[in-house]
Amino acid sequence: MSDPKWFVGGKINLVHNFLDKWAQNPSTAERMALIWEGEGGEEKRYSFLELYRQVNRFAHTLGRLGVERGDRVAIYMPMIPETVIALYGIYKAGAIAVPLFSGFGPEAVAVRLRDVEAKAVVTADGFYRGGHQVLLKHVLDKALETVPCVQAVLVAARLGEKVLLTPGRDWHWNEWMEQVPDQYETVATDAEEVCMVSYSSGTTGSPKGIVHVHGGIAVKTAEVGMFIYDIRENDVFTMITDFGWMMGQLPLFSAHSVAAPFLMYEGSPMHPDPGRIYRQIEKHQVSVFGAPATALRLLKTYAEPFREKANLDSLRILGHTGEPIDEETWSWYLSWTDGKAPIINGSGGTEVFAEILSSISILPQKPTCLGATPAVGARVVDESGKPVERGKAGYLVFTVPQPAQTRGFWRNRQWYMDTYFPLGNEMWWQGDIVLVDEEGYWFHHGRADDVIKVSGRRTGPGELEDVVCQYPDVLEAAAIGVPHPMKGEEIVLFVVPTPPSRLEPDALKQHVSAKLGKPYEPGEIHLVADLPKTRTQKIMRRLMKQHYLSQELGDTSSLMNPGALNQLPRRQKMKQG
């Protein structure tokens, strides 16, 4: 289970499946592959043939810069077309892609580059976010002061700003791309050959370098595209995401597995106003749309007037992943198409490059439900690995190896085994709290790290937060458990009110108690302006708890908004029994 090998002896390169075969086929070569919209309204379109030629040029460029098969090439890029070209070009050349979030600071970038011993970095002069310029190359320059292994940096122009180029190391994108041919023979990589190292946050100061291979990703993303999302060649697929982690690549690959176009947006979905997303759906006739719960709650709160005026008839499939979604937001999301478009609700992770649990479009649904994906062997167990009865929450494991599961952490075998196989080699510990009801529907209640134990009762934060979000004027909430002398732990809530409401914490306590019972009444409720989240819109409850208890923080580099963590209150003193 911990050492799966698939398609042994087989040859496959992701780029052949997702790009080459469409570009080389006259019936699909001119079909649209990529639609890009900049925050300022600019637009670029690439057919499969045009994208193929650009990718070929990039693969040649890597060779001219000294990148060889198996070398690590980091992508520190915004959501622009060059990001897709670079990603496919790295795979085509047989190199290993290392995606880095464009919001990372210098130290977060440097740690990952040193760990993976990157030979090259692809970046941009900057990008636009919320109407502001973000100077990306400037941040990279600071990071590279402590990263001697990087020998080449390729800089795409987005802002048109002058950047500092280190002679012999840094090059403008067009300097090479205009000089090289547009034909390149894709490297015939082995099915088990490493194609990507994607970093995920660790509970210590070290992020985990999660290793993926060509064969696994090719199969899994095709499953997501064809089976989970039911994408067809005439669909337009878009998702609120970022290419700094695998969830940026997943919708791109899923669309290209069936030769459908992928819509890529550069900036903030709330800029210049909350109606931006709805205008995009209408303009580009988006038929498959995905977003995390956090983004949906923001839209529900601020963008409703725009939605009411929008024509969303093109939507066929709605997607959700990441944080558990509350029932109110689920119902509102479903109302976009008056229930005609099903919600594909998935939960998985970087370690498997996609979903472990997901609803699908051909089965009936309950609000907020998931489904059990085939050929995974998903189970719900207690801490010792014994199955729990239906209707009770437990820990998600899977018991069948799958092609896309990580082949380990980058050069750290023991950490990998300790993380995912604490219950033995036949059971992968995934780390989510889930429940299967009497009818066989699955529900996501949060991460195992976030489980709250009050008076011997265990619950995931998702169940609590769902109840809190039902209360008027609550935008979003996070629940943590902190030590209590009598109960073991008590619940502390951090709540973001919908402005300009005057939410009363005592009334909210009574609401939770009435819904869930007196044992679950929060000990404290703190009204805050924002919750700390990762770039994937997951609320970082672990860091919130450590901050609140004044404990040493683990890895914080994946935070999208570190200021939100710093502004949270700290516990004054522990209550006495």
Residue type, 197: V
Q: Is residue 572 part of a domain?
A: no
Q: Is residue 514 part of a domain?
A: yes
Which residues, including other chains, have CB under 8 Å from residue 361's CB and lie 6 or more apart? 229, 230, 317, 342, 344
pLDDT class of 575 with cuts at 50, 70, 90: low
Count of structural domains within the chain: 1
Which residues, including other chains, have CB under 8 Å from residue 126's CB and lie 6 or more apart? 78, 133, 134, 135, 136, 137, 138, 158, 159, 161
With CA atoms as reference, report the closest residue to 428 among 399, 457, 407, 463.
399
Q: Is residue 281 part of a domain?
A: no
Q: Is residue 107 part of a domain?
A: no
- Spatial distance between the Cα atoms of 527 and 540, rounded to a whole number of angstroms: 17
Q: Write the CATH number for 499.
A: 3.30.300.30
Most confident of 27-41, 102-116, 417-431: 27-41
- Spatial distance between the Cα atoms of 307 and 318, rounded to a whole number of angstroms: 15
Q: Show the domain range for 534.
A: 451-566
Mean pLDDT of 196-221: 84
Q: What's the pLDDT score for residue 242? A: 86
Helix (H, G, I), strand (E, B) or coil at 453: strand
Strands 127-129 and 72-76: unpaired
Better pLDDT: 302 or 448: 302
**pLDDT at residue 160 greater than cutoff 80:** yes
Q: Is residue 488 part of a domain?
A: yes
Tokens of 413: 């075998």
Give the pLDDT confidence of 82-98 residue by residue, as tens digits: 999 999 999 999 999 99
Most confident of 259-263, 378-382, 554-558: 259-263
Q: What stretch of H or E contains 244? A: none
Residue type, 139: V
Q: Is residue 543 part of a domain?
A: yes
Q: What's the pLDDT score for residue 211? A: 97
- Spatial distance between the Cα atoms of 440 and 380, rounded to a whole number of angstroms: 12
Burial of 542 (0-12, 13-18, 19+ CB in 10 A): middle
Helix (H, G, I), strand (E, B) or coil at 127: strand
Q: What's the pLDDT score for residue 203? A: 44
Taking CA atoms, 18 is separated from 23, 92, 239, 255, in Å, by: 9, 11, 18, 8
**pLDDT at residue 577 greater than cutoff 60:** no
Lowest-confidence region among 45-49, 293-297, 386-390:
293-297
pLDDT class of 456 with cuts at 50, 70, 90: low
Q: What's the pLDDT score for residue 565? A: 92
**pLDDT at residue 204 greater than cutoff 50:** no
Q: What's the pLDDT score for residue 455? A: 67
What one-character-per-residue DSSP string does 508-573 give?
HHHHHHHHH-GGG--SEEEE-S---BBTT--B-HHHHHHHHTTPPP---TTBS-HHHHHTS-----
Lowest-confidence region among 86-100, 172-186, 402-416, 458-472:
458-472
Q: Is residue 492 part of a domain?
A: yes
Q: What's the pLDDT score for residue 407? A: 95
pTM above 0.85, yes or no: yes
Lowest-confidence region among 9-13, 193-197, 380-384, 560-564:
560-564
Backbone angles phi, psi at 556, to 5 degrees: -115, 5
**pLDDT at residue 501 greater than cutoff 90:** no
Q: Is residue 66 part of a domain?
A: no
With CA atoms as reference, report the closest residue to 477 among 497, 457, 460.
497
Q: What's the pLDDT score for residue 527? A: 95
Mean pLDDT of 288-306: 92
Q: What's the pLDDT score for residue 246? A: 83
**pLDDT at residue 556 greater than cutoff 60:** yes
Percent of the chain at pLDDT exceeding 70: 97
- Spatial distance between the Cα atoms of 412 and 423, rounded to a whole number of angstroms: 19
Mean pLDDT of 295-310: 93
- Beta-strand ranges (E) seen in 246-287 are 262-265
- Spatial distance between the Cα atoms of 524 and 522, rounded to a whole number of angstroms: 5
